[in-house]
Chain A
């Protein structure tokens, strides 16, 4: 029997309609805006000045805080401005705006298509290089990789788990990367495995992707049994870190703890490809793979795309213009992604898709009263009580919600998805989490 996580979960419509779209290369536009805050933590500090010439892959934002990642120029050209720009949600974020001239890469970057298999770096050197190249987790949270792979003293990694689940409906970028760059991915995984000094790495792939499973198994076989492909039973949100750990190892990350506390390190499969390019080819994280998809689109696409291109540019290049009656354009998947309110915003390292949803599917259904059916509790993969949070948050009893572990919520949306009364459970929980964090921050002071 195939493994999966123990508690909760739902089965949304898969809608993986762009699986057969081969990864194309997105042309570089005339101007890009590179946000300084493309990762979890503090924004990077710009180290270029207006008028400077930059090359592709040149460091332009330096990580000075602990929780921070380097940012590199995705294009070559002249720095036009260093000022805040609006992100996809209309909020001002510090950025470096570059006028593109030609496509001149840093000499250190190996742009040959040959696959480089040997890596002799020591674990500490690997981590240093991850930091230098600005690698962040590409599964969504954009957690700086060098912090993840610096295992704190007193803790030991036992499992390296590669997240190739891609449980969000519609998204196919991981699927395509596995088909087209399996060997690079496996080399990247082997490097990460060595940096953690664990004997095996487990690659979790959901069983609805038979082609990538077969292909990855074939390639992983060359690595003397160090890489194990683990097909998993389909269930959303299997791609969530804690759920994937539970599915593969049977372990449970306790409330308020990190995966490393149960001996696990989880990386996204997209990250491992970036790791390969960074370690073996000296290429910083300046490109990501994203899916352009939607039921009403004339064509489906997967793109390799420089960071900093605006969503509007991507839409223009891929489908011309948005179809009539477009209700929402979502960055990310339909379950956890956010509807964008500003398409002129630049893409960031963690961007995984441009998902166009028709108006008929974009509107929420009428909310009715909670009938205490308990479906939200059954669906919650963290074993929480969403209906209770909803009531507590509505009545301002935030600390009580905190006692019921509201901060453990991973915001997967299973509760909202399963609610027959269409209650905005996740909205209320997010609001409660924000308020709870504010309370904790006030207490710390």
Chain B
């Protein structure tokens, strides 16, 4: 053994071989039996780990699918029907049909509807601003516009429109995972049925103050007058605490209430303007660019 190189190679080689054998037996002994289906399903799932299903992430969801063996009560809101089909095929069961949902913004307190009376200069975080005061416009229920919803959206479906100061939902990208609804400290964002031809009608206001008080801060506030409930033929509209709510399971998006609303608090999304109606000044969806957007007046703080 005069050659040190040879010696080194030999020693390392032999040790390596011994470890390989040991590791082989250890691996056999402590093998974790895992259903290969979990990996397959995890591959099918979107992989955004958004938490919309209520599980910690996509892999946890895949495990839940396999453990249960069917899809009852489990659904991936982000993946939608396409993913549901694929998972059903892998599991060998039928995918539950569910109505596609989408996030809607239930506030229309834009810079022009609810002009700012004060200036907020603190941390750009809705939850923090909400804990401090009522908001720049004076409405304690309206959007603070600091974008917590946009920050949590994994799919880039939410953004704050600098014109209106309100969040805008990109319907194409929104997967109705519900992360934004949890992030909003004022529960302004709601998941609603996408509806026929993507048309839906909803009350874009959360203010439960009396009509006069609410109107003081926002031109587009729901004043709880009840006109919409009277005109609704499907009994989909209820008024509670000065605030109207349209039940999307009953609403057929006929649009009667939209024309009836005196403040324009009821919004109709994706309706094609069939005939020009004189009364509807705020017709289209929240993401339609405002026809005329007067700049908010220079507002002195306080």
A340 & B138 in contact (Cβ 8 Å cutoff): no
C-beta contact mask, B122-158 vs A, less than 8 Å → 1, else 0?
1101011001111100101000000000000000000
With A and B bound together, what is the CA distance between A326 and B128 in angstroms? 24
With A and B bound together, what is the CA distance between A92 and B128 in angstroms? 18
With A and B bound together, what is the CA distance between A135 and B121 in angstroms? 35
A89 & B128 in contact (Cβ 8 Å cutoff): no
A328 at the interface (CB under 8 A from B): yes
A364 & B140 in contact (Cβ 8 Å cutoff): no
A341 & B123 in contact (Cβ 8 Å cutoff): no
With A and B bound together, what is the CA distance between A340 and B120 in angstroms? 11
B302 at the interface (CB under 8 A from A): yes
Q: A434 and B140 in contact (CB under 8 A), knowing A343-B302, A363-B121?
A: no
B121 & A364 in contact (Cβ 8 Å cutoff): yes
B135 & A90 in contact (Cβ 8 Å cutoff): yes
B300 at the interface (CB under 8 A from A): yes
Q: Name, among A340, A341, A343, A428, the residue most crowded by chain B CB atoms within 10 Å (CB to CB).
A: A341
B302 & A90 in contact (Cβ 8 Å cutoff): no
Within 8 A of B (CB), among A427-441: 427-428, 430-431, 434-435
Interface residues in A, total, Cβ within 8 A: 27
Q: A427 and B118 in contact (CB under 8 A), knowing A90-B134, A90-B140, A328-B302?
A: no
With A and B bound together, what is the CA distance between A428 and B118 in angstroms? 21
Within 8 A of B (CB), among A326-385: 326-329, 338-343, 359, 362-364
A340 & B302 in contact (Cβ 8 Å cutoff): yes
Instruction: Note all chain A residues with C-beta closer than 8 A to B123.
Output: 424, 427-428, 431
A341 & B131 in contact (Cβ 8 Å cutoff): no
Instruction: Note all chain B residues with C-beta closer than 8 A to A92.
Output: 140
With A and B bound together, what is the CA distance between A424 and B124 in angstroms? 10
A430 & B121 in contact (Cβ 8 Å cutoff): no
Question: What is the chain B residue whose CB lies nearest that of A363?
Answer: B121
B131 & A434 in contact (Cβ 8 Å cutoff): yes
B132 & A89 in contact (Cβ 8 Å cutoff): yes
Q: A341 and B122 in contact (CB under 8 A), knowing A328-B302, A362-B301, A434-B127?
A: no
C-beta contact mask, A2-39 vs B, less than 8 Å → 1, else 0?
00000000000000000000000000000000000000
Question: What is the chain A residue whose CB lies nearest that of B136?
Answer: A341
Instruction: Note all chain B residues with C-beta closer than 8 A to A430.
Output: 128, 131
A116 at the interface (CB under 8 A from B): no
B302 & A339 in contact (Cβ 8 Å cutoff): yes
With A and B bound together, what is the CA distance between A46 and B133 in angstroms? 25
B121 & A431 in contact (Cβ 8 Å cutoff): no
Contact of A327 among B122, B138, B301 (CB under 8 A): B301
Sort A-B residue pairs by CB-CB distance and give the 7 closest, nearest first: A90-B134, A427-B123, A89-B133, A431-B128, A341-B118, A424-B123, A341-B133
Q: List 10 A-B contacts (CB under 8 A).
A: A90-B134, A91-B133, A327-B301, A338-B132, A341-B138, A342-B138, A362-B301, A424-B122, A427-B123, A430-B131
